[in-house]
Structure 1
Amino acid sequence: MVHMLSNRGWAALAAALVMLVTPVHAQEVVLRHALEGKALDALATLTLRFNDAQKGKARVVLQGLAGVEDKRHLPQMALLDPDDSLTFFDTRPRFRPLHEIMKESREKLDPRRFYPQMADAVDDAAGRLQALPLGLSVPVLFWNKAAFTKAGLDPESPPRTWWEVQKAAGALFDVGSACPFTTSSFAWVHMENLSSQHNEPMLARPNRIAFNSLINVKHLALLSSWYKSRYFRYYGPRREGDAHFLSGECAMLTSQSSLYADIAREGIQAGAAMLPHYDDQYGVMPRNVLPDGAGLWMLAGFKKPEYQVAARFVSFLMRPDNQRAWVRATGYLPMMPEALKALREAGVPAAVADLAERRLSAPKTLRVRMGGGLERLREILGEEMEFVWRNEKPAKEALDTAMRRADGLVAMEAWTPRRR
């Protein structure tokens, strides 16, 4: 009977045990998440270990998003990408800074222990961590090797530049591919990372976002031409493209590096390579990508004893042995150097592991500090992109409009420039 349990069954059993192994009088905090598969198994295992170490005084309860009836009944913690706030809570709740909770609870949180780029993804202008960067990835290009072989392309040689992506998409289309290329997380990949790679400032001046530079307009115009030629399919502004690649429908995908765990589970023969770039752009730095994804966030409005349990759980997750176990199981980026080797042990392609090793230890960059404004900016970009795909606005007009609509979003959080 035990041997008949599937991976999903083991995950459900582990999550259930998290709720049963400690007495009902324990101080309880809830962690809401949307994980499944190996990632859920890993989180459930770590949570069981934490609860056992509390000797009945406290426990963390995992709460899968799919089973939540009233999303407005907020948990103390959530593992989410801030873009998913509405999906997680049906509202945009307030979060408390992690550094503040750790200090109040007398738990150590030294940002210098983290890779600079990991800390940079979740800190404020003063370098104080707002969340734990537990589920971050870098943007990469995935390609289906069988589809490349069918199109007469070298399955071991992925496109390096956007011009090479265009050539590959044309070859794939010519042999009948209904989706040569697609993307997930459009704004993150094709706006934020495009600007970072090509050394374009993301602020035109203090408190004014700039995603309508020449490189942004050039890139969106190219994508628009691919869309019309059916080289490129757009399924939505978030992670909708992932499913179309995992199903085998799409031959190329730009998405988060951690998707490789799902690709391997599905048995797809795929490769992962660095995000393409324009080699005809002055000052291009292809490796200058921006880690992003799900952090462990603390929600506001709870009592001190609850935050103390949450803070102890964060300290537990930061232990080197637990970091290694988490990275090895999930393929997420290591928060600290102690867990880097585990990324390679997770089976992540060498190109991604090499990129992570070089990029994560790089100095912090000039990153836009927007607080909740980043979620709104990505929404605006997604809305304006719809006009481009429907051929109702040219690329420049859509981006100019998006920037006017986004004007002032940066001012939602005090922001101080930090140079390289």
Structure 2
Amino acid sequence: MPHLIRTAAIACGLAVAFSAHAAKPAKPTKAAKTTAAASAGPVEIDLANQLGQAAEGRLQQLVERFNHEQKDFVVKLVPLAEGGKPAALNLVRRQDMADFLSQKGRLKPLYQVMSEAKVPFSAASLSTDLKAGVSDEKGKLVALPVAYSTPVLFYNKAAFRKAGLDPEKPPKTWWEMQETAGKLFDAGYQCPYTSSWPTWVHVDNLSALSSAPVATAKGELVFNGLAEVKHVAMLASWTKAKYFRHFGRRDEADKHFASGECAMITTDSAAHTEFREASGIDLGVSPMPHHDDVYGGRQHTLADGASLWVGGGYKPLEYKAAARFVAFLMAPESQVELARMYGQVPLTQAARNALKAKVVQDRDPTSEVAYASLKGEGGQPQLRVSAIDPVRAIVDEELEAVWDDQKPAKAALDTAVARGNALLSAKPALKKAVPF
């Protein structure tokens, strides 16, 4: 088809050139302008990201497939620059979200981009678990939750066997976790249990599992209630007993589990892509434990992660390129590829069904465990403490004071709430989950 278009354009040009008495050319039509733009070569757009080298390398494979499968558009990976103009496409991690979203007016809602580009897009097909932080007040999708996950418990079945534990019966409650950690310690493990992303796991998700809100409807932080205080105090006692080891504020603990040093870890479900390749790890996975004495029983975990945002101020053809790439990412085969590369939760039921066949092949049930843990409620509430990076830093600092035996749990959480609310009062824009 492109060959025929170019041939027609050349013939038209020759006819005009050899007609000396031709009338003044008519104003170019919209179709003619589009043809001229196409003849100039593919439209190139940037996809900015802050992924590490290995993760970016895997994303590059997907981008190259998009670039190869069609010839009208080219997507190029570039670093995400802080404070600069957003690229046409921007892959933003959970921990960077608040700063990035403060750039009001410099982003364009995804639903608007897809509509104006006339690229088919069914936002309704997305799992409701995955819409937190990417939907506006009317429920319209303003970004794509391209790499969301939820906390789960990973454990080393080999370590369980060494400790005389049943490798097919992981702990379901925090009380069972304590008993399991004790047996692992007695079997010689100096790190029975660890956790990455302390605020995300032990504040946001612990609260959701316990039906305890982290904030009021007006955005006032209240994560210093009984459920949270009891949980943090329990972890403090485990630290003293050497059942729990803390390695950092982000995902530093992941490598200590992958190396075999730690027998159990609570971290994002996406980590399974790294763990299943780790030498000496016979990987087991289970939902994040819950406290069985809370009112109403076990509730649900939350979904969050990296999302894809569209920058403002670009040309229609550049938005067309962005829309086509989003549609490419939504295809079930791309979703399966993303899930297997990054461990993300599939966006749609069609993608989830397509992945199930691969689950049998990979013998990795993590995505199904993650979905079961979300229970269809993973998109609520919208406000996540861990997504507001300056508040997350405060909470991590106070939690570390507990782990280091410098403060009791109640005092640390009270201080974290007071400091966090003071910060949000000074910068209320940080409370907004989306900038539209």
For this structure pair, what is the TM-score category when the shorter chain's length is used for normalisation? 0.7 to 0.9
What is the CA deviation profile of residues 260-303 of structure 1, one whole-angstrom value per residue up to 9, with x for unaligned ones?
Answer: 121111242020001000111121224x1111111222344545
**Are residue 239 (structure 1) and residue 251 (structure 2) matched?**
yes
Alignment of 1:174-213 (within 5 A): 174-213=186-225
Residue number in structure 2 paired with 1:384: 398
Question: Partners in 1 of 2:385 and 2:112 — Cα distance?
Answer: 16
The answer to whether 1:170 aligns with 2:158 is no
CA distance, structure 1, for counterparts of residue 392 and residue 385 of structure 2? 13
1:366-381 correspondence to structure 2 within 5 Å:
366-369=380-383, 374-381=388-395
Q: Counterpart of 2:124?
A: 112
The separation in 1 between residues aligned to 2:206 and 2:402, in whole angstroms, is: 18
SS where residue 131 of structure 2 aligns?
A: helix
Amino acid at match of 1:321: E
Query: Secondary structure of the equivalent of 2:234?
Result: helix
Alpha-carbon contact 2:173-2:292 (below 8 Å) kept: yes
- Could you tell me which amino acid in structure 2 is paired with residue 379 of structure 1? A
Scaled by the length of structure 2, what TM-score is found?
Answer: 0.78
1:406 corresponds in structure 2 to 420
* Contact kept? 2:219, 2:431, Cα under 8 Å: no
Q: Secondary structure at the match of 1:367?
A: coil
1:248 and 2:248 correspond = no
CA contact (8 A) 1:340 1:357 kept: no
Letter in 2 for 1:50: F
Q: Is the 8 Å Cα contact of residues 324 and 338 (structure 1) preserved in structure 2?
A: no
SS in 2 for 1:251: strand
SS of equivalent to 2:168:
coil
Q: Once the two structures are superposed, what CA deviation does each residue of 1:132-188 show, in whole Å capped at 9, x if it has no partner?
A: 111111210011112122222222211111111111111222232121111111111
Sort the Cα spacing of 1:322 and 1:353 in 2 relative to 1 into closer, same or farther, 3 A: closer
Within 2, Cα distance between the matches of 1:23 and 1:48?
22
Q: Distance in 2 between matches of 1:156 and 1:372?
A: 32
User: Residue 269 of structure 1 aligns with which residue?
Assistant: 282
Provide the C-alpha distance between the structure 2 equivalents of 1:300 and 1:313, rounded to a whole number of angstroms: 17
Check conservation: 1:125, 1:415, Cα contact below 8 A: no
Name the counterpart of 1:333.
345
Counterpart Cα distance in 1 of 2:384 and 2:341: 32
Distance in 2 of aligned mates of 1:305 and 1:237:
41
CA distance in 1, matches of 2:40, 2:409: 58
Q: Which moved more, 1:158-167 or 1:361-370?
A: 361-370
Unaligned 5+ runs, structure 1: 1-21
Percent of aligned pairs with the same residue?
39
Cα separation, partners in 2 of 1:309 and 1:171, compared to 1, 3 Å: same
Q: CA RMSD in A?
A: 3.3
CA 1:363 to 1:193, structure 2 compared with 1: closer, same or farther past 3 Å? closer
C-alpha distance 174-77 of structure 1, shift in aligned 2 (>3 A): same
Q: How many Å separate the matches in 2 of 1:215 and 1:228?
A: 21
Matches of 1:71 and 1:208, distance apart in 2: 28
Aligned partner of 1:149 in structure 2 is 161
- 2:238: which partner in 1? 226
**Alpha-carbon distance in structure 2 between the residues aligned to 1:234 and 1:413:** 28
For residue 363 of structure 1, report the CA deviation from its aligned partner. Answer: 5.3
Q: Deviations over 1:359-391 (max 9, x none)?
A: 667257641347996233322211221221222
Distance between the aligned counterparts of 1:41 and 1:342, measured in 2?
24
1:291 matched to 2:303? The reply is yes
Q: Deviations over 1:79-98 (max 9, x none)?
A: 33230469x99x97666232
CA separation of 1:169 and 1:340: change in aligned 2, threshold 3 A: same
CA distance in 2, matches of 1:93, 1:379: 21
In structure 2, stretches of 5+ residues that fail to align are 1-37
Counting only pairs closer than 5 Å after superposition, residues 47-126 of structure 1 correspond to structure 2 as: 47-55=63-71, 57-63=72-78, 75-84=87-96, 96=107, 97-126=109-138
Aligned to 1:343: 355
> Aligned partner of 1:383: which letter?
E
Q: Indicate conservation of the 8 Å contact 2:269/2:370, yes or no.
A: no
CA–CA distance in structure 2, aligned partners of residues 361 and 386 of structure 1: 31
Distance 1:305 1:152 in 2: 62
Aligned partner letter, 2:73: A
Q: Which has the higher mean CA deviation after the structures are superposed, 354-363 or 239-248?
A: 354-363
Moved more, 212-221 or 379-388: 379-388
Give how far 1:307 is off.
Answer: 3.0
Are the aligned partners of 1:123 and 1:131 in contact in 2 as well (CA < 8 Å)? Answer: yes
Deviations 1:321-340 (A, max 9, x none): 33234334443211010011
Q: Aligned partners of 1:272 and 1:331: how far apart in 2?
A: 13
Shift, 1:195, TM fit: 1.1
Relative to the length of structure 1, the TM-score reads 0.81
For 1:49, what is the secondary structure of its paired residue?
helix
| Residues 141 and 273, structure 1, Cα contact 8 Å, conserved in 2 | yes
Task: Compute the displacement of 1:24 (Å).
Answer: 9.5
CA contact (8 A) 2:192 2:244 kept: yes
Counterpart position of 1:10: none
Cα distance in 2 between the residues matched to 1:159 and 1:78: 39
Pair 1:328–1:270, CA change in 2 (3 A): closer
CA distance in 2, matches of 1:101, 1:336: 20
Q: Is the 8 A contact 2:43 2:321 kept in 1?
A: yes
Query: Do the aligned partners of 1:134 and 1:296 also contact (CA within 8 Å) in 2?
Result: yes
Tell me, yes or no, if structure 1 residue 279 matches structure 2 residue 292. Answer: yes
Partner SS state of residue 204, structure 1: coil
Partners in 2 of 1:372 and 1:158 — Cα distance? Answer: 27
